[in-house]
Structure 1
Amino acid sequence: MADGGKMVCVTGASGYVASWIVKLLLIRGYTVRATVRDPSDAKKTEHLLALEGAKERLKLFKADLLEESSFEQAIEGCDAVFHTASPVSLTVTDHQIELIDPAVKGTLNVLNTCAKVSSVKRVIVTSSMAAVLFRVPPLGPNDSVDESCFSDPNFCTENKLWYALSKTLAEDEAWRFAKEKGLDLVVINPGLVLGPLLKPSLTFSVNVIVDLITGKDNFINKNFRLVDVRDVALAHIKAFETPSANGRYIIEGPVVTINDIEKILREFFPDLNLVNKNEASEIIPVIYKLCVEKVKSLGIEFTPTETTIRDTILSLKEKCLV
C-alpha cells in the first residue's frame, strides 16, 4: 500500500485507461472521486462500482468537460487529480466541436479548478504519443524519440490528423497554464493501449484486435507499438507517488507486426476463425527509435506483448465482444 488514506480525483473515470487507474488506486488504499458525464448511466458506471474497495472508497461525480467549474465538487479536498477525460476518435464530422474543444477547453477547465484548490499537490494529465510523433520532417528510422519531441500543430492540421491535433493543443495549453500558475504538472504519453477491458464496451485501440479477428480491416504491412493498459495506469499513479517525477513520460512498447499478433492469436486461440491473409511480403520498417528510460525510472516494468494480447482476447471473449 503506497499512500493509503489519500483522496484523489480521476476525470473521465469510465474510460479504458481511467477505469484501470481507479482500480489500482482502490487496491492501493486511496479514496477516489471519479467524474463521469452521467452517474446514473449503469453501462458507464457498473464496472467501476463493482471494483474491490469501491463500496467504501469510491464516489461518483457528474462533470462535463465543457462546463466551467463543473469539476469543483469532485476536486475539492483531493491531493491529486488524474485528468484522463478526452474524446478518442479518428472519424469525426466536426473536429473542432467533437475533438479539439473538449480536449483543450476540458483540460483548461480541470487545471483551472486544480489551481484554485489548495489541497491539490500534483496533476497528472493523460496525453498521447499522438502529441509526440507528428512533425516536419517526418520521423525516419534513425530518429530517436524521447520526451523532448512534440507534434507540430501545423503538420497535424495540413494532414487532417484531428485526434493528434487535439492531444497536441491540449498538452501545449496544459504546459502553458501550469507554468503560468505554478502548478505541479506531470504528463503521460502512451502509445496504442491494449490489455484487458474493465468497461463493458469496446475502445478505439482494442478495436484493432477485433478488426483483425473479424477480418474487417486489411492490416497487411502494418506494424504497431503496443503498451499494456495496466502499465499505463500504474505509470499515472507512480507519477503521483514519486516526489521527483516531472515533465512528460513516454510509455510505449517494442514494435510488433500484424504477423506477430496473428501468430499469438493462433497459438492461444486455435478456435478463432482468423481470416487467412497472404503473408505480408515486406514489413514496413520501424519509423523511429524509442527511448523509454524515463518511465522505467518510475519503476515501471513492461508487460510482455504476448501477455497483453492474450489478456486482451480473453477479456473480449469474457465480455462477449468477439
Structure 2
Amino acid sequence: MNTILVTGGTGYVGSWIVKGLLDKAYTVRLTVRDKDNTAKFENLRQIALTTKGKLEIWEADLLEEGSFDDAALGCDAILHVASPFTLRFKDAQRDLLDPAIKGTRNVLYAASKSGTVKKVILTSSVAAIHGDTKDMTEQGLTEFNEEQFNQSSSLTHQPYSFSKVEAEKEAWRIAQAQDEWKLVVINPSFVMGPSLSSLSNSESLNFMKDILSGKYAMGAPAIMFGFVDVRDVAKAHILALENENSQGRHLLAERTIDVLEYAQLIEKAFPQKFKLPKKHAAKFLLLMVGWMFKLSSQFIKRNVGYPLRLNASKSREALGLDYIPLEQTVKDMVTQMLDDKLI
C-alpha cells in the first residue's frame, strides 16, 4: 500500500496519523473542506518537507454526496478519521449525527467506487462500545471489550456517543454488503497527549485546560475514563493498516482512572504549579451545580461513582501496540500546552 487517503487529517488525532504515514514514506491524500485555508494544514506541509513521504491536498465535504470519490481514485486504503468530537453544539442532529453518519457513508461509498481501495480503517470510539459508566453494572459485566455496543446513548442523552455508535454500525452495514475492501475499526478511549498544532480546538485540550485552570479545584467528579496517548492512537491506525491479518474492532486504553487520579498525575509531574483538585466532589453537590460544568442530572446520576474497566488486550496482542505510560502522556501534553501558551 502506497497511497493513503486520510479524512480529518488536520485534526488532533488525524495530524499524528498523517505525520506517521509521511515518516514511513507513504503518499498521503489529505482531504480538507477549503484548500485556500492553508493555515489548517501548513504544519503538515512543513512536516512533509522533512520526510520521504508526499502530501497531497484534496477538497471534500463530509455532507456532500460523492465528495470523496475523486480523492479515493487510485488509493490503496482509506483512513476515515473525520467526525465531529465536540460537547459544544446547538443541534445534535445537525452538528453531530449527520456529519458522523453521512460522512461515513460518503467515504465508504467512495472506497467502493474507487476500484483500488482494499482496506478502510475507521476511527470510531470507546463511546461506540459503552455510553454511561453505569452500563457496565447494569449489563452485569466485569469489563467492556470489543464485543459490546453502546446501548444507553441517544440523541438527547450523550448525543456524541450516540453519533459514534450509529456511525460505526452504518460502517459495518456497508462493509458487510460488499467484498471490494476490508473494514478495520479503532475504538480509542479518551485521547490525550501533545497536539501537533497550536490551532487545535479538541475537547481533549479543553478538558486539560479545565483541569489546569482550577475549574475543579473545589472537587473533581468521581467519573472514570479510559485514557490513551494520541501518538498511540495514530500508531494503532498504521499498525492496523499494515497488518494483513488485522480485523474487527480494537479498543484502545492505557488504563482507566477517575478525574481526581488524573489530576494527581499532573501534580506529580508539575508540583504546586496548578490549582488542582485534592478531593472528589460530592455527588449531591454535582447534581445541584452540574449545569455550571455542562453536566446534565441524568449524566451525573449514571456516571458519577460507578466503576469502569476496559479490556485493551486485543490492541496489544493483535496489533502489537506498546502503550506510552499515562504519566508520560500527561507530562508531554502539559509541556506542549505551556510551550504554545495555551494555558
Structures share fold, TM-score greater than 0.5: yes
Residue by residue over 1:15-73, the C-alpha shift from the partner in whole angstroms, topping out at 9 and shown as x without a partner, is 11100000000011111000111222133112211214478600111110011111122
Residue aligning to 1:24: 20
Residue 290 of structure 1 deviates from its aligned partner by 2.1
Residue 282 of structure 1 deviates from its aligned partner by 8.5
Q: 1:30-109, aligned counterparts within 5 Å?
A: 30-53=26-49, 57-109=54-106
Determine the C-alpha separation between the residues in 2 that align with 1:92 and 1:304.
Answer: 32
1:302 to 303, 323, 328: 323
Residue aligning to 2:171: 174
State how many pairs are aligned.
315
Contact 2:75 2:116 in 1 (8 A): yes
Q: 1:1-322, aligned counterparts within 5 Å?
A: 6-53=2-49, 57-134=54-131, 138-140=135-137, 142-152=141-151, 155-157=152-154, 160-182=157-179, 183-200=181-198, 201-217=200-216, 219-270=220-271, 272=273, 274-280=274-280, 287-296=307-316, 297-322=318-343
Which ranges in structure 1 are unaligned for 5 or more consecutive residues? none
Contact 1:129 1:190 in 2 (8 A): yes
Determine the C-alpha separation between the residues in 1 that align with 2:342 and 2:107.
Answer: 33
Residue 260 of structure 1 deviates from its aligned partner by 3.0
Residue 277 of structure 1 deviates from its aligned partner by 3.7
Determine the C-alpha separation between the residues in 1 that align with 2:86 and 2:119.
Answer: 28
Determine the C-alpha separation between the residues in 2 that align with 1:164 and 1:180.
Answer: 25
Normalised to the residue count of structure 1, the TM-score between the two structures is 0.91
Contact 1:26 1:53 in 2 (8 A): no
Q: Structure 1 counterpart of 2:203, which letter?
A: F
Contact 1:27 1:53 in 2 (8 A): no
Contact 1:146 1:290 in 2 (8 A): yes
Q: Structure 2 counterpart of 1:22, which letter?
A: V
Contact 2:3 2:76 in 1 (8 A): yes
Bigger shift: residues 295-304 or 53-62: 53-62
Provide the secondary structure at the position in 2 that maps to 1:207: helix
Bigger shift: residues 256-265 or 142-151: 256-265
Determine the C-alpha separation between the residues in 2 that align with 1:281 and 1:107.
Answer: 39
Detail structure 1 runs of 4+ shifted over 6 Å in the superposition: 281-284
Which ranges in structure 2 are unaligned for 5 or more consecutive residues? 284-303
The sequence identity of aligned pairs, in percent, is 38
